[in-house]
Amino acid sequence: MIIAANFKTNHTRKSTREFVSRVDEYAKKIGSSVEARIYPVATALDNFEIDEHIKVGAQNFYPTCTGSFTGEIGFEQLQEFGVDSVLVGHSERRHVLKEGSELIVEKFNFAKEKGVEILYCVGEPKEVREAGIDAVMTYVWEQFSGIDLEYERLVVAYEPVWAIGTGLTASYEDIKEVLEKLRAKIRKPLLYGGSVKLDNVSEILDIENCDGVLVGTASWKTETFIEMIKTAQNKGD
């Protein structure tokens, strides 16, 4: 199972280091086999010496190694910190930062060429959800166009846009239905994301075809994130 923390624009270098070190300490102490992912802000990336089941990845990058892209971060800079996992297609990049599908596919292909793990996010806005499951799936499959579903290191996160950072979670039935439809074509780990909290993570992890969660807001507190890892670990025992 994968339990991933997206820090978005939160935490500093110092608090990220403390967070990573506490998660690492916990994972080592219990011999956790849960795959933990932590995506801090780029300025907090570092060469962390951590358990093999934990990766500190990048929330974003520009599809280049180096070059003239003022303000962007390329792969040479990520590789300096041994980054081996990246987020691509997160809804805040698509909808808030207006990243188009062409750039998203370019980023995916670049990361794929570099051989890193790609946590690829898809999900529908509220009006699409209100139009029903067929509309949701048409929208979501469209977000996969140009994306190699056979990429060995692909992880997919289904994150309804209206559930991200809003406190609203999709119903267990809705999550189950979408994951089942994704599973028909995708043989890679499938995560759910969208207001996952300590009080719903266990039920979400129990949903058929759910291989983990991508957590924003609730993951920013170390204790909560560790509790989520513990919940996932207990399911594996």
As measured in angstroms, the least distance from the Cβ of 205 to ligand PEP is: 14
- The distance of closest approach from Cβ of residue 98 to ligand PEP in the complex, given in angstroms and rounded to an integer, is 17
- Listed in sequence order, the DSSP H helices in 123-187 are 126-130, 133-143, 172-183
CA gap 214, 185 in Å, rounded = 21
Which among 92, 99, 124, 159 is annotated as catalytic? 159
Closest to ligand PEP by CB, 15 or 217: 217
Residues binding ligand PEP (CB under 6 A): 6, 8, 159, 164-165, 193-196, 214-218
Nearer to ligand PEP, 113 or 154 (CB): 154
Based on the residue annotation, tell me whether 53 is a catalytic residue of this protein: no
Which is nearest to 123 in space by CA: 54, 36, 216? 216
H or E stretch covering 190: strand 190-193
**Which one of 11, 35, 53, 90 is the catalytic residue?**
90
Determine the 3-state secondary structure of 36 from DSSP.
strand
Nearer to ligand PEP among residue 131 and residue 168 (C-beta): 168
For this structure, is 203 an active site residue? no
80 neighbors 114 (Cβ within 8 angstroms): no
Q: Supply the residues annotated as catalytic.
A: 90, 159
